[in-house]
Structure 1
Amino acid sequence: MARKKKKSLRYLPVIIMALVFAGGAFLYIRNWWLERQAGMIRYREFGIAVPTNYTMHGIDVSRYQQTINWDAVKGMNVEGIKISFAFIKATEGNSSIDSHFKRNWRKAKEAGMTRGAYHFFIATKDGTVQARNFVQSVKLSKGDLPPVLDVEQTYGVSKTVLQQRVKAFLYAAELAYGVKPIIYTNSDFYKQYLKEEFDDYPLWVAHYLRPVAPRIERDWHFWQHSESGRVNGIAGKVDFNVFSGDSTQFENLLLK
């Protein structure tokens, strides 16, 4: 009897390994299916889950990404997902210029990347003066994205004053470039401070941990869905975005 028991136990490690493998395979397939059902697929190369219902993917960068290899960014292709566009920080407030803007602006174009420039808005400063800083620093050309105003903090000013200064920036930028600027903000800030007054401007909205789309009532053009992605050519983490339409609609948005 003792010998028979010992003989049957010989196969126990193999059985356990088979069960562990089967369980792991089941969990992998289950997660794979749930991700697709939720509209997100996690890619090891990007380090994040990427929305599957969009064809145009992009990033936004500033000096915090340090020196970028734009050829590597442009050349990245993971199962058909490419980096099609990049928003680049240009200016902030009345006089600040991002220390990496000139290089990023030039190198992105040389790599064939569709590029856009944005201004980080300081609500305590005059909107027209801030627009002048941006216009003097950014020369947009055919094929570029419209100028972007990044407004996401009040710095203690009232809603009325904030809106007045934002309007002043947008008016001056549209006058300089001949195209409506894009507003960047997060979904909660838009609802609380910008809703209705700026609904006719293109919107780039930040809203993380959403599987399919940002939670916002109005139409939007771009969605920043993650702040922790990874891309070839960039050493640290980077924000990921998608465009709401197809390639034709994207082309129609570019400067003519």
Structure 2
Amino acid sequence: MPPARKTTSRTTTKKPVTRKKRSTKKTFAQKHKLKFIITLVVLLLFSPLYYGKLFRTAVSTGRWVKDLFIFDEYPNDDEFGIRIPRKYHVHGIDVSSYQGKINWEKVVAMESYNVKLSFAFIKATEGVTLVDSYFQRNWRESKEAGIIRGAYHYFKPKKSGKWQAKFFLQTVNLEAGDLPPVIDIEETGGLSKLELQLNLQEFLNEIEAKSKTKPIIYTGYKFFEDNLKEKFGDYTIWIAHYYQPKLKLPETAWHFWQHADNAHIDGIKGKVDMNVFNGDEVDLSTLLIQKSY
């Protein structure tokens, strides 16, 4: 038999486990990173920018809902760049030297979703000395382009109404087919309501006596309500009242409505006032001057 193997007992000694110490730098960085994230979240939640974003989102959503369900009678038109009251079918603009040189052929040719421009009011005079620098050009070229034209005077309350009317009539050559003269009144000039009304009546009387045509009165919605409604309601009224789906006056109380001041019109640089007429083309034709003066 082979000799027996010697068995030797091995004693295994366990090496002590040494745990690595965490880097104090790393722990410090993690803590501060967490604090930074928490601080950022808190600032975001309480930030005006955050709530401003939420507000803008809510507003845009609200507008979309209105477009879909509420404003079907007041749709946005991409070509004109504004909302246009769908109920009315005769549209027009008003211009002055502010718009600069106008290509009236392009104005007349513009059309979007059956909306075409049928008439244009053109600034002629202001007070007793100022003639709009583009009036004669606009007056001539608008007629040549085939658009129905009308001239307006900006009224200065402290100047004589009669002399303002004379100045307007000396400047404007009214012809058959034109819209009646327009007086644009937007300020009291510090006059009392009675003084303002008397001076305005002087202007209207002089225009009517010389042109045999009853003038149109243009003014803002609130100004009309406060100063003119009770005395001049039987005149042809043109009201400025912007960005509304409908004018806050009875249908019988107005004839023209300036509903926007920021329309895009082909052939014109910059923003333009947009208007509707309360009636059809036949109704508009009955307003026109029948005889040249």
Q: TM-score, normalised by structure 1?
A: 0.86
* 2:282 is aligned with 1:248: yes
Task: Tell whether the 8 Å contact from 1:86 to 1:114 is kept in structure 2 after alignment.
Answer: yes
Query: Secondary structure in 1 aligned to 2:274?
Result: strand
Could you tell me which residue of structure 1 aligns to residue 84 of structure 2? 50
Equivalent residue for 1:34, pick from 54, 69, 88:
69
Could you tell me which residue of structure 2 aligns to residue 5 of structure 1? none
Query: Secondary structure in 1 aligned to 2:150?
Result: strand
Q: TM-score, normalised by structure 2?
A: 0.75
Q: CA deviation at 1:149?
A: 0.4
CA distance in 1 between counterparts of 2:78 and 2:143 reads 27
* 2:252 is aligned with 1:216: no
Unaligned 5+ runs, structure 1:
1-25
Equivalent residue for 1:191, pick from 204, 208, 225:
225
Among all aligned residue pairs of Structure 1 and Structure 2, give the percentage whose two residues are the same amino acid: 48
CA distance in 2 between counterparts of 1:30 and 1:157 reads 46
2:120 maps to amino acid: A
Q: Using a 3 Å threshold, how does the CA distance of structure 1 residues 190 and 198 change in structure 2: closer, same or farther?
A: same
Please provide the CA RMSD for this pair. Answer: 1.7
2:68 maps to amino acid: W
CA distance in 1 between counterparts of 2:131 and 2:276 reads 26
Larger RCO of the pair (alpha carbons < 8 Å, separation 6+): 1
Count matched residues: 229
Q: Using a 3 Å threshold, how does the CA distance of structure 1 residues 27 and 93 change in structure 2: closer, same or farther?
A: closer
Unaligned 5+ runs, structure 2:
1-60
Task: Tell whether the 8 Å contact from 1:181 to 1:202 is kept in structure 2 after alignment.
Answer: yes
* 2:151 is aligned with 1:117: yes
Q: CA deviation at 1:28?
A: 9.8
1:126 maps to amino acid: S
Deviations 1:31-65 (A, max 9, x none): 5433643x211111111111100110000000000
Equivalent residue for 2:200, pick from 166, 183, 199:
166
Structure exhibiting the larger radius of gyration computed from Cα positions: 2
Query: Secondary structure in 2 aligned to 1:203?
Result: strand
1:245 maps to amino acid: G
Q: CA deviation at 1:239?
A: 0.2
Task: Tell whether the 8 Å contact from 1:35 to 1:41 is kept in structure 2 after alignment.
Answer: no
